[in-house]
Each structure stands twice: as structure tokens, then as C-alpha cells.
Amino acid sequence: MSMKMEYRGGCLCGAVQLYVMVDGHKVGACHCAMCRKWGGGPLLALENVLGLRLEGEEAVSVYASSDWAERGFCSHCGTHLFYRLKEGGHYAVPVGLLEVDDDWVLDEEIFIESQPPYYAFSNQTKRLTGEQAFAAKQP
């Protein structure tokens, strides 16, 4: 059953507002070293993003963090806004940016081979290696 909804969110300083269209209430966790370095812990993000619209784009900076992906952040306050693949249109948006704490469900974890031993989530999720996660994103 499809549950398409649009949510509003923004950065800490308010320079960037985002409107994200998602299908469902699923949240994914990425344990890769780059996401953990970027945010100090696993990235908890909406992975089922159908569309993303930004207001205040002049305050958005984009960093090419790898050959295949970019990370967007507010150039004023540093808030993490999105992770996106350079090809294919996939966006991941940190769930904590949204103004509404909806009935989100942690559904999937990726890069499980990179997860450090000092934390673990208690609920059952689909757990994928980095290789499996990339294979799942291929058309």
C-alpha cells in the first residue's frame, strides 16, 4: 500500500527549507565510515524519497564525497540536508530535519560490515552489506 506524503523540514538557522515527498514511513541507517564521520554516528535517513524541493538553495553547499555520491549541507549553520547519488536520482534525507515526528520505522541498515561494536539497534531490520546496498540501487 502506497503512502505518499510530503513533509517540510529545514536547517538549524532557517536559511534552507526542504520539502520532501516520500512513499511510506521507512527510515534507513547507514553505518559506513563516511556517514559516521559526517554526522558523528550512523546516518538515519528517509531512503524512499520520491522528490525533494529546496528553498534557500543559495545557502546549500554540495560536497562530492566520493566518485558516486554528494552530500548537501547548509553553508551557514552546517546542517546536513541530503546525501544523493550522482547518477540515478537517489536521495537520502536525514529524518531529524523534518518538522513532524511521524510514525517512522527503522526498516533497513546498510554497510553492516562497517558498523562499530559500540552501538546496536534493538529492533529487527533488513541488514545489507555495502555491496548488497549498491546492487539494490541499480536499475
CA distance 111 to 134: 10
139 has pLDDT over 80: no
Q: State the pLDDT at residue 62.
A: 97
Q: State the pLDDT at residue 89.
A: 84
1 has pLDDT over 70: no
Mean pLDDT score across all residues of the chain: 93
3 has pLDDT over 90: no
Q: What pLDDT, in 10s, does the model give residues 56-100?
A: 999 999 999 999 899 999 999 999 999 999 988 889 999 999 998
Integer angstrom CA distances of residue 73 from 17, 33, 34: 12, 18, 15
